[in-house]
Amino acid sequence: MPRLIVRPPSSRLADGELTHLDRVPVDAALARAQWDGYVEAFRSRGWEILEAEAADDQPDGVFVEDAVIVFGDLAVLARAGAVSRRGERDTIARVVAASGLETVEIVEPGTLDGGDVLKVGRTVYVGASSRTNAAGIAQLAALLDARGWTVVTRPVERVLHLKSGVTALPDGTIVGYEPLVDDREGYAAFAAVPEEHGTAVVVLDERTVLMSADAPRTAELWRGRGLDVVTVPISEFEKLEGCVTCLSVRLRD
C-alpha cells in the first residue's frame, strides 16, 4: 500500500515565507478544509496516511515535501535554505524513522529543499535555486550515484523551487508553464501547459494524476492524452507559492 506523509497547516500559515509573490490574505479555515480534501483524495484511493505532528510555530510546516526526499528505501532529510524553516525537519524525521526507511541527512554548508528535486525514472533533476545550493546538490549526488541514480542540475531563477516550474507526467514528459520555466531545452521531452497552476502534477499511478482545480484547461489537456485527472482546490496554499506536490511526501511500494 502506498503511504503519504502530511502535516496539518499551522494557524500561522499566512506568515509563511514568500519569494516571488506579493503577500495577500490567507483564509486559515479554508486552508484547513482544502488540506482535508487533499488528504482525502489520496485516502479514498487506498493510500495510508502518515500524519506528522502539528507544528503551529512553523508557518510553512504544511509543505512537508521540502523536509525529506525519498528514493526507494532511502530517505534524505533536507536542510532548508530558509533559516526560518529548519525547525521543520526534526518532527518529519520522526515520521520517517517510524516508516522503516534508511535515513541520511544533508549537512552544513549544504542546503536542499525537496521542492527542488524532481525524479523521472532514475534521473534526478535538482534545481539550483535560492533555497538549494551547490554544496547540497553535491551531497545529494554523492548519496545517489552509488545507488544508480543520475543527478542533473537545472537552473531556477523565475520561481521558488524547480517543481514550482516543472513536474512530470507518468510517461516522464516534463510539463510546465513556459513563462516560469528557466530552460525547457534541458529536458528531452517537454509539454507546455496553458495555465500557471497547471504546472504541478502528482502521479498517483501510471494512468492518474492529481493537480490543482485552478487549471481546468490543463486538466482537459491531460485527459486528452488518456490520463485520469483528479483535481483539488488549494488556492490558500498557492498564495504562498505552494502546489499539489509540496503538501505531501509519497512513499511507494
Q: Which residues are annotated as a binding site for substrate?
A: 18, 60, 65-66, 85, 131, 240
161 part of the active site: yes
User: Of the listed 20, 197, 243, 246, which one is catalytic?
Assistant: 246
Question: Which of 128, 113, 126, 130 is closest to 79 using CA atoms?
Answer: 113
Q: What angle do CA 123, 48, 41 make, to 5 degrees?
A: 85
Q: Is 144 helix (H, G, I), strand (E, B) or coil?
A: helix
Residues at the binding site are: 18, 60, 65-66, 85, 131, 240
243 part of the active site: no
User: Of the listed 20, 161, 197, 243, which one is catalytic?
Assistant: 161
How far is residue 83's CA from residue 86's CA, in Å, rounded to a whole number?
6
Q: What is the DSSP letter of 100?
A: T
* Cell numbers describing residue 81: 535554505
Task: Tell me the HSE value of 40 on the side-chain side, using a 13 A CA sphere.
Answer: 9
Catalytic site positions: 161, 246
